[in-house]
Every structure is written in structure tokens, then in C-alpha cells.
Amino acid sequence: MQAITRRLGHHSLRPTPSLSSIYPLSDHYYGGDHPRYGSTLPSHKGTGHLVRKGTGGRSSVSGIIATVFGATGFLGRYLVQQLAKMGSQVLVPFRGSEDNPRHLKLMGDLGQIVPMKYDPRDENSIKAVMAKANVVINLIGREYETRNYSFEEVNHFMAEQLAVIAKEHGGITRFIQLSCLGSSLSSPSRFLRAKAAGEEAVLKELPEATVMKPAVMIGTEDRILNPWARFAKKYSFLPLIGDGSIKIQPVYVNDVASAIIAALKDDGTSMGKIYELGGPDIYTVHELAELMYDMIREWPRYVNVPLPIAKAIAMPRDVLLKKVPFPLPNPEIFNLDQILAFANDTVVSENALSFTDLGVSPHKLKGYPVEFLIQYRKGGPQFGSTVSEKVNPDSYP
Ligand SMILES: NC(=O)c1ccc[n+]([C@@H]2O[C@H](COP(=O)([O-])OP(=O)(O)OC[C@H]3O[C@@H](n4cnc5c(N)ncnc54)[C@H](OP(=O)(O)O)[C@@H]3O)[C@@H](O)[C@H]2O)c1
């Protein structure tokens, strides 16, 4: 634990107390003792029989009290909604402003969703947000570095630390770690290497944890089709790194949330297992871009950017990140590490456990999952030159 806390640069390093003294809540600004963030959830003790009551709606009790780290992100929104809908109590650690978890509060009955301020570098505040839980889900992750946080700290050491604290807790019955399809200790991408190290560290601490490795996720707030659509509208073309022939298996974000819920609800068969979550169809990057263009009703125009040139465009941010005394903009399309991550096909491996093993059938992307893209149509959702109507803008006068 001390090794982890050193790597995380913790503010306060106290020796790990004995089990009986861990759970008094944090004694300072963060956590349940603070009158503003205090939770009224009953304390959960022991290894936890989940007490279920009611018919299964959000006013019933699923018995799950889940601390969802990273709930303020993209997947978190869908996962918290599904957890709340089945009557679970959800503790939402957040580090930014009180507005970050605000949208999540509406997903449950009054008091069902409990935002709790925490500091990911303060061990005590993590213990505080986990204290009353019987399930921990770690969605923390970031695909670019910042001046404050390295890939390794966010994607590896934080996961390891959560697993260590969950183990010490003694009453956490399920731990779910979100990793990424393609994560590997030998990947050229530091993000994917850190994700793989995070998986390993979690399973080493808690062999009964479940690891989910989703492919690139699609949905209203996604970070692939949205940036593409914004770029395509602004510059009237889309850069395709390489020739766009790399294969990916994008997945609808809600399906990933459903897979997590299915794992939580099973009889323990998913414990200690790793699931690769890819959508029902494999796309080349070019085909996915066509789908985006079709939805936004713009004529597709691409500029093929050879890999070395894409790397050269993305390089300055990485080189300057820690050298200039101000934060640099977050990369969207030209993210050096993502370019390296997606230099090879990333699809679900042949013998991997996947959606079907969890009883979930993933949605095809074409249709509702990409419908949010109509917001990018010029002149409104019903308007625009279109590919689907086979109109060639070059034939316009
Ligand atoms: N999006 C994808 O296409 C995709 C694909 C495969 C795997 N994944 C993985 O799935 C998980 C969820 O993805 P997502 O798209 O929902 O991620 P996201 O939208 O980027 O959200 C990530 C969450 O992690 C938190 N976080 C990031 N850096 C942090 C830090 N330094 N300290 C504390 N919290 C931090 C964020 O908190 P703030 O709100 O405070 O920033 C946010 O709640 C991640 O582990 C991601 O790597 C995502």
C-alpha cells in the first residue's frame, strides 16, 4: 500500500490501520463526516447478503450499495441510471465541482444517488466513499495525459489503490474494473499498457474481481463520432489516419452498462473473469466514418494522413506537455497515444468471454445508438445534402 501511495503522491500517509479502525469516516473536508456530503445510508457490515425488496423498479431495494468511481464520465451516466433503476443505492465520488454529479441525482429516488466529494490522491477520502458500499465499480480512466496526471497514475495506480482499499474493507462483495479492449503490457500505447497493468494489479489484489474490456464506446457523449462530426463540419473533410482500413468493433455505451449490471446480478460466475465487450459488427475506421457522414448528411470527404505524418502532427503536445508552464488543450483527433493504440486492428479475441456469456445482446450501431448525430445536420435534423439519398454535391450548379 505504501508503494502505491508513494506513486500516487498522497498528501497524507498514515500507516494502514487495523480493519476495525479503518471505517470511521474521513476526519476532514471530504467524505461522509462532512455535513454537506454526509450520507444517511445504513452501514453495511460483513460479506453481505444482499437484501432485496420490491418488484425491481427504482423504488425497490436491490441490496446493492455501489460506489462508482468515475461515475461523472461517459459510461458512468448510463451505469448509474441502470443501477438506480433496479433500486440500488449509488455513491458517486466526485472531485470537481458539485455540478459534475448533478445530472446523476435525478436518476434515482430522493437520497438514492449520493454524491460525495473526494480526492483521488487522499487515501482517507477514498475509504470514506467506500465505507458503506458492498460493491465497487472503477470507471476511472483517461486516454490522454495532463500536467497533473500521468497515464500510469490514472489507469494503473488508482485502480490498484482502489483494489487494495476494497480488500481491506472486508465487506465488498463485488469489484468491477473497467479496462479497454486491446490493453496489453506489450502495446505501443502507454494508455493500453497502463490499462493492462491496472487489470493485473486489481486481479492480484482481488482475484475475484471482474474485468470488463470494452471496445471504443459509442453514444451521445462519445469521444469518437462527436469529434469527427465537429471536425467534418468545421473543415469540410475528415482526416483518416493511415487509409482508414484498421478494424475496430465499436460498442453502444448502454450495452456496456448492461453487461456490468448483468455481472453484478449473476450468481458469481463472472467473478475472477475478464470480458471483452465489442459490438455485433466489425467496422473499418473508414466504414465508421461513412456511418457518421450518413447521419450528419454531409458529403464524405477524407484526407488520408499517413501514420508518420499523423504522429508528427500529434507530437508537439506530448513533447511540450510538461515543459510549458500552462495547460495545453486536450487532444481530440490527433492524440499521439491513441494513434499508436489504433495502429493495429482491435477486435474481440476469438475465445474471449463476451456479451453472450453475460446474457446481453449488444445493439447494432446503425439506428438509435448513432441517432444523436442528427444534431450536427446543417439546417436541422431533417435537412442537408445526403449520402443516403445519393445526391452528389458536385452535380450542383
Ligand atoms: N470511452 C471509450 O470509448 C472507452 C473505451 C474503452 C474503455 N474505456 C474505459 O472505460 C472507463 C469509462 O470510460 P468513460 O468514457 O466513461 O471515461 P470518461 O468519460 O473519460 O470518464 C472517466 C472518469 O474518470 C475520472 N477521472 C479521470 N481522470 C481522473 C483523475 N486523475 N482522478 C480521478 N478521476 C479521474 C473522471 O472524473 P472527472 O469527471 O472528474 O474528470 C470521470 O469520472 C474508463 O476506464 C475508460 O478508460 C472507455
Domains and CATH numbers, the chain: 2-208 (3.40.50.720)
CA distance 258 to 368: 16
CA distance 77 to 257: 9
Amino acid at 68: V
CB atoms near residue 301 (< 10 Å): 12
Q: Is 48 in the pocket of ligand 1 (CB under 6 A)?
A: no
Cα of 138 vs centre of ligand 1, distance in Å, is 9
Cα of 322 vs centre of ligand 1, distance in Å, is 22
What 60-63 contacts at long range (C-beta under 8 Å, 24+ apart), as own/partner pairs, is 60/86, 60/87, 61/87, 62/86, 62/87, 62/88, 63/88, 63/134
pLDDT in the model for residue 9: 47
Determine if residue 182 is left, alpha or beta; phi over 0 gives left, psi from -120 to 50 gives alpha, anything else beta: left
3-state SS, residue 161? helix
Q: Is 214 in the pocket of ligand 1 (CB under 6 A)?
A: yes
- Mode of pairing for the β-strands spanning 113-117 and 89-94: parallel
Beta bridge partners of 254: none
Cα of 299 vs centre of ligand 1, distance in Å, is 33
Index of the ligand 1 atom closest to the CA of residue 94 = 40
Amino acid at 225: L
Candidate of 139, 253, 335 to mutate for ligand 1, largest count of ligand atoms within 8 Å of Cβ:
139
DSSP string of 320-364? HTTTSSSPPPPPSS--HHHHHHTTS-B---TT-B-GGGGT--PPP
Order of strands, edge to edge, in the sheet holding 89-94?
A: 113-117, 89-94, 65-69, 135-138, 174-178, 210-214, 274-277
Q: Is 73 in the pocket of ligand 1 (CB under 6 A)?
A: yes
Cα dist. 312→184, 295, 323, 344 in Å? 24, 31, 18, 18
Q: Determine which residue's CA is closest to atom 8 belonging to ligand 1.
A: 180
The C-alpha cell that represents 101 in the structure block? 454529479
Cα of 70 vs centre of ligand 1, distance in Å, is 6
Q: Is 70 in the pocket of ligand 1 (CB under 6 A)?
A: yes
CB atoms near residue 379 (< 10 Å): 8
Amino acid at 104: L
Q: Is 140 in the pocket of ligand 1 (CB under 6 A)?
A: yes
CA distance 236 to 342: 24
What 5-12 contacts at long range (C-beta under 8 Å, 24+ apart), as own/partner pairs, is 5/123, 5/161, 7/152, 7/153, 7/157, 8/120, 8/121, 8/153, 8/157, 8/158, 8/161, 9/121, 9/153, 10/121, 10/122, 10/123, 11/119, 11/121, 11/122, 12/122, 12/123, 12/124
Amino acid at 92: V
Q: Determine which residue's CA is closest to atom 15 belonging to ligand 1.
A: 74
The C-alpha cell that represents 151 in the structure block? 497515464
Q: Determine which residue's CA is closest to atom 39 belonging to ligand 1.
A: 72
Q: How far apart are the first and last CA of the chain?
A: 69
Cα of 257 vs centre of ligand 1, distance in Å, is 14
In tens digits, what is the pLDDT along the chain, a chain of 397 residues? 555 544 554 433 333 332 232 223 333 444 445 444 444 444 443 334 466 777 777 777 889 999 999 999 999 999 999 999 999 999 999 999 999 999 999 999 999 999 999 999 999 999 999 999 999 999 999 999 998 899 999 999 999 999 999 999 999 999 999 999 999 999 999 999 999 999 999 999 999 999 999 999 999 999 999 999 999 999 999 999 988 999 999 999 999 999 999 999 999 999 999 999 999 999 999 999 999 999 999 999 999 999 899 888 888 888 888 788 888 888 888 888 889 888 899 999 999 999 999 999 999 999 899 999 999 998 777 765 554 444 444 544 4
